[in-house]
Structure formats: structure tokens, C-alpha cells
Structure 1
């Protein structure tokens, strides 16, 4: 059994997906995991609707704000916003390979500029009391040697960063879409393990291609944390099953889907009363019955409808639960 008092399991930041509505839902499955916002640009926080971007429910803690940016003044200001709003941690995105981040020379592009990232860490940490962490790739384009990653980590760690979340694939900035960058470059888990061996004083987490409880257990034998994105999003009940990592194998430690819904309905009612659109929220819940009878009908009931009522959601859920009495 892995000692989870010294380990971390996280839900990865995913643009358009890890909104507050998804994060609240995810927290109902598991009280232990760290939840991340989607990557939010400094411009959106400084010039946009900051309160809306940074809103969250207190149930979501522990919660990390992931920032996209490279300007020291702007990133420092946004780290201060994170602390003011009550986030537990702020994370610098050094892994996203999209065209938008490349145009702004942020995200994965920053792996080629370890001094810049180190300066960001230094100034952000000086401004806030919450931890400042970095999520990065093992390399970019042809700069994909282990030594390249070590130089990056060493430089940033010297500025005071102690936690690194490593996506175990190289980011190819030319020729591959963000989706392809999550699938085509080969996974090199051994490089992440080696990083932990070479920097035992740092907290090293691993991300990429992990989708089972057994995978999580295997990785935690080598490093300090596991981050999972799409597997948790598409099959959220995996989060419930992950409670077993904390030695919570008793039946009542793993919530039933019916219990999740009982807690979700009041939240949805409250958000509707605030003027939020129900279809915008329920798009995150399509995977609730993944693998069960009636799962497809549930997805169909919630998908592609500009108008949706809470009663319709409840009826669709009751139909599936009637087919799966133990769910």
C-alpha cells in the first residue's frame, strides 16, 4: 500500500473542461484529489471578467489556479489574485503546445527559456504565501534529451520551485495539433522516474497516458504524484475508485452514483437561480454512467440541447439508475 500522506493525485488542467462546474462534480467523487482550473491567461484575469474566471465553490479545495503567461509583472499580479481569491496554489503552464500559446511565446515554448521561468517563480513566490509550481513537458521539438529537461528543472528549482508536474511526452510545436501532442510523441516515464532519483529533494509528479488505478499505484512507487486528465473527465467514477488509494476500501468510502446526484442537484438548482445555463453545466457530466446499461441514453438526454430542465436531468438519471440498482 502506498503511503498517500506523502503523495498527491491530481485532476489535470484542461481548457474548456476543468471549469468550476466540472470541479464541483469531480470533488463529489473524491475528497483527496487536487483540482486544477483550466489554463487561464494573464490577459483574461487582468483585462477580462476576473471574478467569473476565478469563481469556485469552497467544496473544490484543494484547488490550484493554472496561469498562462510569461510577463513577470502580469504573472506576479495574477499570482496575487490567486491568493486573494483563496486558491491553495498557483501553477505555471510550461506544457501547452497550442498555436495560441506559441503565438504569445508562453506554454511549452517556455521550456526553451528556463531563466524566464525561474524569474517568474522568483517574483511570484516573493509576492504570495501560497506555493508556486510548474507543469512542463520532458522536452520540445528536437530539444528532447534528458539533459535538456534536467537543465530546465535545475534552473527553475534554484529560483525556489519545489514541485514539478511532468507530462512525460515531448511537445512538438510544429506539425502536430494539441490533440496529437497528447498521443503521438512517445511516453518516457523512465525519464520522470530518473528526474526524481536525481532530485530527491523535489516533489515530482507524472502526467500522460495514465488511466487505471493500477497505473496510478505503479507510478507512485517511483515518484511523488500522479496527474490524470481525460481519463478522469470521461470516466469520473474512476475518481471514486481512487479512494481505495487512501486505504478506503469500505463500501461506504466509495460513493454511489445515486449519492453523487443527490449532492449535485442542489448545486445545479443554486446555479440556475444565479442565471447559469443548465446545458453548459451538464455537458461535464456525460461520463457519469460510463460502462453501465443506459449510459448512451443518459448522454443523449443531456447532449446538444439549448434548453434543458433539472426535471429532465433527474428523469434521465432515474432511468439509468433503474437499470443499475447498485449504482
Structure 2
């Protein structure tokens, strides 16, 4: 079993994997933790209402190996957010993060996510209530603005309200969110990136930690941002090409540990799948769906993905599916070496 070292939160924030709805569940985070032992991981966004009125254990349970892991909440009711945090307290998350950046329709209809950038006073009230409910750090993830907002004045006004409310750190997606006229998918690519605006905010708010997110697709791009920011956050690049995370600890945290190999990852995930299936009857595809990009760029990668996506859904599928996928990339590589 992987023994996770204690990583100070301020250090872990130097590199984090973004919260992604329907993706960064606990099984995804277990995989990512195999690849990077020092980075900060995030849950997918969980609404305060789901925690308060739903199955607390299902929403909040995680493996201690995932630490440091941050809980991201969605909501705009200070009382309900505080109640959700009190329910989350026994689980021991490293920090609590409030989502003020998601542009999806279902988020807007619930009055949380990016639309809250138009209501900095309300968000500040939420942060205060959250801080009163926990001794853990409370942070906010936001955009540089929404719709027709002036990103200079409105972002400064929003950030100042967060600072006055006692926020411990900000994660800033370097794009506006256009809530009128663009889909959530379009909001991830069409609004132009403005890293310079986030750099200026970081300088202005120093020494408050400010991390940057948005459009960073390589470790080289992330490293370039390290010169300006307290940390970087990668999302879809880390999810779709997870093996890049295997280089993070050496590159950004000075680790001297050997970089984990694809074979070691696959065997560890097979062991994990066996435990999960035995203990809870977990469907193997709920684990393998997060592993599809592990072999990207290798001979046999297409067959690898097919096994993990198709064969893992078949009745009776078990951990052997993961090992069979490993063989699909090992055979062509061995043939090349002969």
C-alpha cells in the first residue's frame, strides 16, 4: 500500500489538479495520487445542498492516501455552506474551496458558480460563514470576470471582498465566463486567456497565495507560470494525459524518488480495483474510465483504450481487464525492442 508523506498545504498548492465535475471522483484521485505524491488534489464540485440533504458518506468519503485533497463546494447560502462544512469536518480535508467559476447552466440555475462573480458581497458572506465553521483553510476558485464586466475593476473589487472576508487563497481561471451566449464547453476555449491580468492580481494581493488555472496543457507552460504565481492548476491536460503527472514531483517539488512507470501504475490500479470490487462490489469501469489516457503516444494505445472502455463494461469484468490492457501496450513495445 502506498504510504503518503505529509505535504504542507502551502507547498502542495504549487501544483494542483483542478476540480472537474463527473471526473475527479475518489477513484480518479487515487490514480492521480499514484502519479504525484506532492500535488494538491481536488474533489469534483459537491453542492452544499447535496451534503446537507443527501448521503454524506457517499459525497465526502475518500482514501487517506489521497491527501492532501481539497473539498470543493458549490453554493450561495452562507448558512447551508457552514452546515455542509461541519458535516465534512470529520473527513479531514486539507482545505475547503468555494466554486465561483463554473459556467454551466445547472450551476447558474442554482445560483452558484461563475454567476456569483456579480455578487462579491454575497460571496464574502459565504466565505465568512465557512471560516466560522472550520479551522481549515477556506479558499475560492473564480474567473477573471463574467460577460461584460471590466476585468480590471470587477476582479479587483471581487478579490478585495474575498480578502476582507478572510479568504486563505485564490485560484483564478484566466478567462472570462460568458454566461450569455456560450456553452460550458465553449467557455473553456473561446474566451481569450489573459495570464497577465492574473499576474497583476497576484502582485497586488501579495502575500495572499494566488494560483493560476486555464489553458495550461504542458508542464513547460506550467513551469513558465511558476515565475509569476504561487502555483499552477492543470485540469483537462492532467486528466486526458495523466502520465504527465508522473514528472511533477521531480520537476516542481525537487523529489528524488524514481518516476513511477506505466506498468507500476497499472498493477497498483489492478490491486486497488480488486479491493474496491471485493469490499463494495464496485464496477470495474468506474475505475478504468479514468485510465484511458495512460498509454497515450505508445504503440498499442488504441487497443489499450478499447479494453479499458469496452471490456471493462462487460458482465463479470474484474481487475484482470487492467492487466490485459497493460499487455496491449507491452507486446508492441517488446516487439520493437527485438
Q: Choose which of 261, 265, 268 in structure 1 pairs with 2:270.
A: 265
1:102 Cα deviation (Å)?
0.9
1:31 to 6, 14, 37: 37
Give the Cα–Cα distance (whole angstroms) in 2 for the partners of residues 301 and 137 of structure 1.
Answer: 38
* Alpha-carbon distance between aligned partners in 1 of 2:186 and 2:152, rounded to the nearest angstrom: 22
The alignment status of 1:238 with 2:247, answered yes or no, reads: no
Q: For 1:242 and 1:66, how far apart are their aligned partners in 2? A: 22
Q: Which residue of 2 aligns with 1:311?
A: 320
In structure 2, the partner of 1:69 is 75
Contact 2:14 2:252 (C-alpha < 8 Å) held by counterparts: no
Tell me the residue number matched to 1:253.
Answer: 258
Task: Output one character per residue of 1:140-189: Cα deviation in whole Å (capped at 9) or x when no partner.
Answer: 00014211100000011101003000000000001111110000000000
Q: Which runs of 4+ in 1 moved over 4 A?
A: 4-7
- How far residue 265 of structure 1 moved from its aligned partner, in angstroms, is 1.7
1:49 to partner: Cα distance: 1.6
- The structural deviation recorded for 1:6 is 8.4
Counterpart residue number, 1:160: 166
Q: Partners of 2:271 and 2:241 in 1: how far apart?
A: 22
| Aligned partner of residue 324 in structure 1, secondary structure | helix
* 1:6-17 map, 5 Å: 8-17=14-23
Asked whether the 8 Å contact 1:95–1:137 carries over to 2, the reply is yes
State whether residues 82 and 90 of structure 1, in contact with CA within 8 Å, keep that contact through their aligned partners in structure 2. Answer: no
3-state SS of 1:66 partner: strand
Q: Which deviates further from its counterpart, 275-284 or 183-192?
A: 275-284
Deviation, 1:246, is 2.0
* Whole-Å separation in 2 of the counterparts to 1:205 and 1:40: 21
Deviations 1:170-214 (A, max 9, x none): 000011111100000000000000001111121000000001111
For 1:141, the equivalent position in structure 2 comes to 147
Structure 1 residue runs without a partner (length 5+) = none
Report the number of matched residues.
321
Contact map agreement 1:18 1:36 (CA 8 A) in 2: yes
* Residues in 2 aligned to 1:207 and 1:162: alpha-carbon distance in whole angstroms: 17
SS across alignment from 2:155: helix
Match of 2:5 in 1: none
Aligned to 2:4: none
Structure 2: how far apart are the matches of 1:100 and 1:291? 36
Report the secondary structure of 2:207's partner residue: coil
Q: Is the 8 A contact 2:171 2:211 kept in 1?
A: yes
Unmatched 5+ stretches in structure 2: 1-9
SS in 2 for 1:253: coil
Structure-1 separation of matches of 2:129 and 2:52: 17
**DSSP 3-state at the match of 2:330:** helix
CA distance in 1, matches of 2:133, 2:321: 48
1:287 and 1:162 map into 2 onto residues whose CA distance is 34
Give CA-to-partner distance per residue, 1:93-150, whole Å, 9 cap, x none.
0000110111111100110111111111111111101101000000000014211100
Over aligned residues, Cα RMSD in angstroms?
A: 1.6
The equivalent residue for 2:182 is: 176
1:71-220 equivalences in 2 (<5 Å): 71-220=77-226
